């Protein structure tokens, strides 16, 4: 009985009995957890599919500390693009999340979201002729 009390005290003192949830810390700083419309961008494209002219639509914006994340839908005559714009006080960057072309079919870009690791998994397929010749997968941690 005494050894269980000692073991309990050791675990209590050193914190081994506490559940360690790393996701709580990471999810607070991960913009993807606050950007539901971005994560479901294919549904958003379908909502605006009836647009027949060139349009740029700001889908949503999230600010974390000094960094602002904005998702933009860019519709052109025969193309749909989804961009993630990242701006902070010193620089800006853009990431192409989705690209589909309805005329030439040269490439296609689609993105999956790994919310646990707060990263984008961008899959690009290049078409030449009748087949999908080349495929690249890029992982970008936010």
**pLDDT confidence of 103, banded at 50, 70, 90?**
confident
Reading the block at residue 15, the tokens are 């914190």
**What pLDDT score was predicted for residue 41?**
94
DSSP 114-131: ETTTTEEEEEEEEEETTE
Q: How confident is the model at residue 138 (pLDDT cuts 50, 70, 90)?
A: very high
Average pLDDT, the chain: 81
* Cα distance between residue 104 and residue 27, in whole Å: 39
**pTM for the predicted model, two decimal places:** 0.74
């Amino acid at each position: 009985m005494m050894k269980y009390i000692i073991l309990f005290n050791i675990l209590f003192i050193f914190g081994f009995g506490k559940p360690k949830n790393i996701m709580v810390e990471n999810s607070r700083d991960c913009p993807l957890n606050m950007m539901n419309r971005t994560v479901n961008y294919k549904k958003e494209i379908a909502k605006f599919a009836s647009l027949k002219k060139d349009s740029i639509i700001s889908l949503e914006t999230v600010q974390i500390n000094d960094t602002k994340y904005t998702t933009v839908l860019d519709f052109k005559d025969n193309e749909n693009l989804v961009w993630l714009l990242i701006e902070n006080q010193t620089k800006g960057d853009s990431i192409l999340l989705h690209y589909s072309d309805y005329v030439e079919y040269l490439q296609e870009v689609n993105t999956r979201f790994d919310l646990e690791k707060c990263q984008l998994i961008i899959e690009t397929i290049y078409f030449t002729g009748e087949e999908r010749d080349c495929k690249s997968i890029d992982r970008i941690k936010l």
